[in-house]
Every structure is written in structure tokens, then in C-alpha cells.
Structure 1
Amino acid sequence: MKSSIVIADDHPLMLKGMMNYLSSLGYNIVGSATDGSTAYNLIVKLKPKIAILDIRMPHKTGLEIAQDCKLNALDTKIILITFDKREDVYKKAKEHNIYGYILKEFAVEEIETCIENVICDRPYFSKELVPNLEKTYTNTDYTSLNKLTKTEIKILKQIANNKTSIEIADDLNVSPRTVDKHRSNIVNKLKLHGIHNGLFIWASQNKDIF
């Protein structure tokens, strides 16, 4: 049985369709809800690996649920599904440690890929969104790359290829803690502080230059 999932959407047809689709792929749907408060209570009670949430629901929005999960140190990883392409909403999602952000019109095409990335601790944002909303990462001062060591460049390349810290540690024959320390140093040198998954997004957007 694959990872446990809670799904919430205030549109019954969307909710039922997503549940049936993911169940057919072997995922363990442990709970569902049509409003945000019920969804959050299910997350607290059932502690699923992943929660797939409509961004706009009665009582609590998907963003508010994500914020509450972060404040209460809940381990459930949040994937938001939305029609909203606004940059301010997208940035708020990233601030609340959202692991996935998918547009509803591409949900069926992208949800399985998104889930599999999230299970491996890799963030996934809809390919239709990132090119338009990540411009801040493509305007970087690339001279900052000169400050990186050879090992940091190796790690940056692996991050760009969706490798986790554990996978990178195995490849470099070092501990995951050492890799995390290098990641922190890279973030400092490239000035990517304060934005969740900023290093991964920067590496993905700029992998052709290193």
C-alpha cells in the first residue's frame, strides 16, 4: 500500500474524482473532507503522510491549514490544488512550507508525479506556474557562484537533479548532516534566505550555468 493521504475539496465531484483516481493507483486514502476545519482535524487525528487540499474552502483555506500544520510542527506534507495563478498566493504557499502546488486544470496529469516527488522530500510546483513566478531566481548575480567550493558545486548539481540530502550523501560518501551543512553554506553564498525550497528552485532554474 502506498502513502497515506487525506484529500479535501469543497467541490464534491472534484473530491470524488481525485479519491477514485488515486485509489486506483494504489494510494491509501485515509480520509476526506469538504471544508477546511474538518480537513485540519483529520490531519491532526490521522497524521497522514500527505494532505491534498483545495486552496479555497469554507472555514479554513488550504493556506491556513498549511500555516497551522507548520505552527504545530505536524509532519504531514501539504499539496495545494488551485485555479489561482496569482504570484502573492504562490509566495504565501511557499512561506508556509507547501511541498506541492498544482493547477486544477492539470491536476490529473501532474498529481501522481507531484506525490512521488513529495514522498521523496522533493517539492513539486506545476510546470505551468514556475516559469512565470520564479523570475527572481533567474536574475541572480552569477558571480556568487565563484564563492562556491568544488564540493558545493557538486551538491548544487545534484540538487538540480532532484536528489535528496540522503542520496547526495551516499554519492559523495559523507553523512547527510554534512550535506545539509553544505546546503546551508550555499544558501548563504547565493543569498537565498527566507524562502522555502529556494535552493532547489534556484538550482532547477539555473542548472545550465554550472
Structure 2
Amino acid sequence: MPESITTIIIADDHPILLKGLKDFLQDLGLHVLATASDGKELLEKVLELKPEIVLMDLEMPGMTGLEVGEKMNELGLSTKKILLTLHKELFILQKAKELQFSGYILKEFALGELTDAISIIKKGGKFFSEKIWENDRKQPLKELSEPLTPSETKILRLIADGLSSKEIADKLFISERTVDKHRSNVISKLNLEKKHNSLLLWAQRNRDIIG
């Protein structure tokens, strides 16, 4: 198999949705190694086939998607994890992030977001559906008391793509310390809480206004 083809396993307990996802991902050029309809079956297939990505439903018989993700972490698996769910609750998103999921996609928007999500995740980034915050008020950048510099805007775009400070530093040929300083300045200008990933969450839900 050519190295450029991404391998994936998908899991959902709804047969029609599972088939639709499989057909869609194959049309994108991904190699679907297997499908599963419950969490325990999924974990067994991930251990056996070692895909690059696993796309899993949150609510499955046997084990939930979060439980499968936690078990994968315990086993030291490098497979990237994407959670598929109907839930918009931020505490579930936060739990997924704590378990090192690379993606969080809402089922109702899955076909519209999977292409971008997989592209970003294959490059080492993260993708969290901005639809989770669709009722939140967005703050236009032009209304900031102190505008973002071109460098800050460029770094904000890369943060929206899920890149870490080290990855941004390597990409822009600057030090990681410089990136962190820019991040700190942007957090201050946007008046964000200084919590882990607060800037990533803001960048994800405001992707359309930072270009």
C-alpha cells in the first residue's frame, strides 16, 4: 500500500451511518481497514490492525468512545483518535481533549467537516467542530482595543489548525519562546482566560474571521 494512503477504522452502532461513513471515507481516498459496532470490538480491531486513525462514536455498547480512547492511551497506542457525537456539551469536549483525542466532530455536520478534519489531523494538527460554539458571540478582530500584528495573526491561523508552539516555531523558523510570547500577547488582546487551550478553542470557533 502506498505510504500516502491513510488507514482508518470506524465504529458506530448504527449500521446505516456506519456504511455511509465507510463509503464517504473511501471516496476521500482513505483505506478503511475495518468497521466495528461496539467499543470492545473496536478496541480489539485497533490492537490487531494498528490504523493511523480511528473514528469512533461516543455512545456505543460495551465501551464508550471515551473509554476506548482512555484504554488506547493506557496501551500506548499511537493511533490518532476522532470522536463522533451528537453532544455539544463542553465538558465532554474537555474530557476528549484530556484523553488526547485529535478530533471532535458533531454527527449532524460530519460529512461537511470530515474532509478538513482528516487533512488537519494527518498533518499532526487537531480539529474540534466549531459548531459546538455556534451560539456563542464572536468578537470581530477589528473591534479589539489593540489590533493583532501580522505575526500574531499568522500564528493564530496556525493555532486554529491545531499546531503546537514547537510545530509553529519550526514552520516559521523562529524560536518556541517567541511563539509563546506571541500567544501570550494574543491572549491578552482577546481578553481570554489564561487556561490550557483557551486560545486554541477561540481560534477554532473563530476560524472564519482570522482567515
TM range (shorter): 0.7 to 0.9
Query: Does the aligned pair in 1 maintain the 2:66–2:96 contact within 8 Å?
Result: yes
TM-score (norm 1): 0.73
**Equivalent position to 1:58, from 48, 58, 61:** 61
Tell me by how many angstroms 1:19 deviates. Answer: 0.7
Unpaired runs of 5+ residues, structure 2, are 188-192
Tell me by how many angstroms 1:70 deviates. Answer: 2.3
| Matched residues, number | 195
For residue 169 of structure 1, what is the aligned residue in structure 2?
Answer: 169
Tell me by how many angstroms 1:128 deviates. Answer: 1.4
Query: Does the aligned pair in 1 maintain the 2:69–2:99 contact within 8 Å?
Result: yes
For residue 3 of structure 1, what is the aligned residue in structure 2?
Answer: 6
1:37 and 1:11 map into 2 onto residues whose CA distance is 16
For residue 200 of structure 1, what is the aligned residue in structure 2?
Answer: 200
2:81 and 2:38 map into 1 onto residues whose CA distance is 15
Trace 1:77-96 onto structure 2 (pairs within 5 A): 77-96=80-99
DSSP 3-state at the match of 1:18? helix
Query: Does the aligned pair in 1 maintain the 2:39–2:63 contact within 8 Å?
Result: yes
Identity of aligned residues (%): 32
Query: Does the aligned pair in 2 maintain the 1:159–1:203 contact within 8 Å?
Result: no
Tell me which amino acid in the other structure corresponds to 1:159: L
Tell me which amino acid in the other structure corresponds to 1:29: V
DSSP 3-state at the match of 2:201? helix
Tell me the alpha carbon deviations over residues 117-141 of structure 1, each in whole angstroms, 9 at most, x when there is no partner.
1112222122211345x88x98xxx
For residue 41 of structure 1, what is the aligned residue in structure 2?
Answer: 44
For residue 15 of structure 1, what is the aligned residue in structure 2?
Answer: 18
Quickly say closer, same or farther: Cα 1:30–1:183, change in 2 above 3 A. Answer: farther
Query: Does the aligned pair in 1 maintain the 2:155–2:168 contact within 8 Å?
Result: no
Q: Over aligned residue pairs, what C-alpha RMSD do you find?
A: 3.4
Quickly say closer, same or farther: Cα 1:51–1:192, change in 2 above 3 A. Answer: farther
Unpaired runs of 5+ residues, structure 1, are none
DSSP 3-state at the match of 1:115? helix
The answer to whether structure 1 residue 71 and structure 2 residue 70 are counterparts is no
DSSP 3-state at the match of 1:17? helix
For residue 111 of structure 2, what is the aligned residue in structure 1?
Answer: 108
TM-score (norm 2): 0.73
Quickly say closer, same or farther: Cα 1:163–1:86, change in 2 above 3 A. Answer: closer
2:37 and 2:204 map into 1 onto residues whose CA distance is 35
Trace 1:145-184 onto structure 2 (pairs within 5 A): 153=152, 156-160=155-159, 162=161, 164=163, 168-174=168-174, 178-179=175-176
Query: Does the aligned pair in 1 maintain the 2:13–2:37 contact within 8 Å?
Result: yes
DSSP 3-state at the match of 2:29? coil
1:72 and 1:187 map into 2 onto residues whose CA distance is 33
1:104 and 1:183 map into 2 onto residues whose CA distance is 34
Quickly say closer, same or farther: Cα 1:170–1:163, change in 2 above 3 A. Answer: farther
Query: Does the aligned pair in 1 maintain the 2:125–2:163 contact within 8 Å?
Result: yes
